[in-house]
Amino acid sequence: MSVNGVTDVLAANTYAASTTAKKNTEATAATSKTKEAEGVVYEKSEEATKAQKYKPKAELIAKLKADSDARTQQFRTLVEQMMGKQGITIGKADDMWKFLAGGNFTVSPEVKAQAQADIAEDGYWGVNQTSDRIIDFAKALTGGDPDKIEEMRAAFEKGFKQATGTWGKKLPEISQKTYQAVMDKFDAWAAEANGKTTVVEEQ
């Protein structure tokens, strides 16, 4: 092979090597730029991360709602049977509550015993269980997001006012105690979210 041939081969190899190195450098730079661009595009915002962390718990919401609906229907059936035995009929749901608020009725010993058990301290409609269910429902709806506490508190207050309107006068003492227990539990949830501890007294 002539000197020129060797020189040509060396030149070709040198050119190929420098071209390859240049391409590798460009590819590395392009990859780096792509990663930077992807970082900008795909970087999760604080809101997105928060939304992912605090998702509503659909399964728990459905369970709580189904349980509440079943218990409410059970109570309504009991009241309707009691009213039917006394020759009283109701046209709509609000009438039932106004009838109960009036207090102009009698109940059998069995119904009275069941009602007393239901509103007892550890009963389903008692202060503790009812306030717990309300807070559990609020947490399920918000996924436990502490930023939603006041929104949930306001919704509860609105519902309590509506219930008072349906009743037609100030709600019974057990309802007032339940209201206070719910407020205390909202306070406890807020304090816990802020890293504080608070004691909620049993009603």
* Tens-place pLDDT, residues 9-26: 334 444 444 444 455 555
Q: Quick one: pLDDT at residue 201?
A: 56
Q: Quick one: pLDDT at residue 27?
A: 52
Instruction: Check if the beta carbon of residue 157 is closer than 8 Å to that of residue 139.
Output: no
C-alpha–C-alpha distance, residues 129 and 178, integer Å: 9
Instruction: Check if the beta carbon of residue 27 is closer than 8 Å to that of residue 34.
Output: no
pTM > 0.75: no
Instruction: Check if the beta carbon of residue 56 is closer than 8 Å to that of residue 142.
Output: yes
C-alpha–C-alpha distance, residues 128 and 182, integer Å: 9
Q: Quick one: pLDDT at residue 200?
A: 53
Q: Quick one: pLDDT at residue 192?
A: 93
Ranges of the chain whose pLDDT falls below 70: 1-52, 90-94, 196-203
List the chain domain ranges: 3-43, 56-193
Q: Quick one: pLDDT at residue 45?
A: 60
